Amino acid sequence: MKEVHLGFDVGGTASRWVACDPNGQVVARGSVDGATAHVFNPAERQRLGTALAQVAAALAANDLVAVGMVGGLTGFGSAAATEIGALAKEVLGLAPAQLLLTDDIVLAFAAQFQPGEGHLVSAGTGSIGVHIASDGTMTRVGGRGILIDDAGSGSWIALRALDAIYRVLDRTGSFAEVHQLAEALLALIGGNEWHHVRQYVYGGDRGRIGALAVGVAQAAAAGDATALEILRNAGVELARLARALETRAGERQVAFIGGVLKLHPTIGAEIAKELSSIAISYPTSDTALAAARLQAGKDGQRWRAILSQFG
C-alpha cells in the first residue's frame, strides 16, 4: 500500500479529505459525512466515527495507508483531543504522534494566510472570525454556536426565516404574506405541519438546520422580501465579525469563506457596503489540501508549531 499524508477538514454539514504523497502531490481526495468535535455527545461521537470510517474505506479502496493526519474539526477543543485521537487510532491506525488536531477555522486560516497576514471570516453552518498573529496569538470573534449566536451563518439564516414565517402565521392565521419563503422551507423539511418542523429542527443537528438556508436563498431569488431582508442582515452580521477583528487585531485584508457566501448576491453586496474601506476577498478554500501539505516543507513546519499550541 502507498503511504500518504492525510488532510481532514471536518464540518457540520460535510467533511472533506485529501491524501498527498510526501512531495505534496494529490493522490486521492473525497468527501464524507459531516461531523463535529463534540465527542462528549454520544451521537456526535458516532457521527465522527462514521466519517473517519468512510475515509478509511476510501483509502483502502485506493490501496493507500495514512502515515499522518492533520485534522481541523468544527467545535474542537483540547479537552476532546484524547478521545478523538483514540477514534483515529481505532479507525485509521494512527498513533497520537502521527496526529495534529485543531479547530477547523484555525486550519482554514492556515490555508489562506501566513501568520499575521490577514483576517478570516468563515460562514457555513456556523460563523466565526479569526486572526492568528505572527507569534501564534489567536483572536477569535463569534463562533459560539446556534443557541447563542453564529449570526450570519446558514443555521442563523434558517432559524431567522422559520421565526419570520411563524410570526406571520401567528398574526394572520396563514403563510400567505410569506408564501414563497414558507413553501421553500417546508419543501426542504418535507412536511407542512408544525410537527414536521419541530422534528426537523429539534430532532436534528445543526448541519440539517443550516441546510435550510438554501430555501431562504431560493425564496429571495423569487423576490420574497422577507428572505431578502434576512440575507441582507446576514451580510451585515458577517461584516460585523470583520470589524471586530479589525478593532482587536488591527487593519488587515479580510478573506471571507464558506457556503453561505454562495447563497445569494445580496450577502456579498451587503458585506462590500459595510466594509467599503477594507480590502476584502472571497478566495476558494481547500482546507483539506492545505492540511495534507502542512505535513511537509518549511511553511508546514512553521504552521505545525503554531497549530500544536491549539491542540
154-184 tens-digit pLDDT: 999 999 999 999 999 999 999 999 999 999 9
- Tell which phi-psi region holds residue 253, choosing left (phi > 0), alpha (psi between -120 and 50) or beta: beta
Q: CA nearest 108: which of 282, 257, 217, 264?
A: 257
C-alpha cell at 97: 504522534
**pLDDT beyond 90 at 145:** no
The Cα 131–Cα 113 span in angstroms is 10
pLDDT of residue 79: 84
pLDDT of residue 138: 93
The listed range with the strongest mean pLDDT (31-35, 208-212, 228-232, 291-295) is 228-232
Q: What is the CATH number of domain 2-109+286-310?
A: 3.30.420.40
Query: How does residue 206 score in pLDDT terms, banded at 50, 70 and 90?
Result: confident
C-alpha cell at 254: 479580510
Partners of 99 in beta bridges: 69
**pLDDT beyond 90 at 5:** yes
Mean pLDDT, residues 85-111 taken together: 91
Mean pLDDT, residues 94-105 taken together: 90
Q: CA nearest 36: which of 161, 155, 185?
A: 155
C-alpha cell at 149: 449566536
- Contacts of residue 69, Cβ cutoff 8 Å, sequence gap at least 6: 5, 6, 7, 8, 88, 92, 94, 98, 99, 100
Strand pairing report for 64-73 and 2-10? parallel
- Contacts of residue 238, Cβ cutoff 8 Å, sequence gap at least 6: 121, 123, 127, 151, 152, 256, 260, 267, 271
C-alpha cell at 217: 436563498
pLDDT of residue 260: 96
| % of residues, the chain, pLDDT over 70 | 98
pLDDT of residue 310: 64
Rounded to the nearest 5 percent, the helix, strand and coil shares of the chain are: 50, 20, 25
**Most distant CA pair in the chain, distance:** 65
In this structure, the chain runs to a length of 311
- Contacts of residue 140, Cβ cutoff 8 Å, sequence gap at least 6: 105, 128, 129, 130
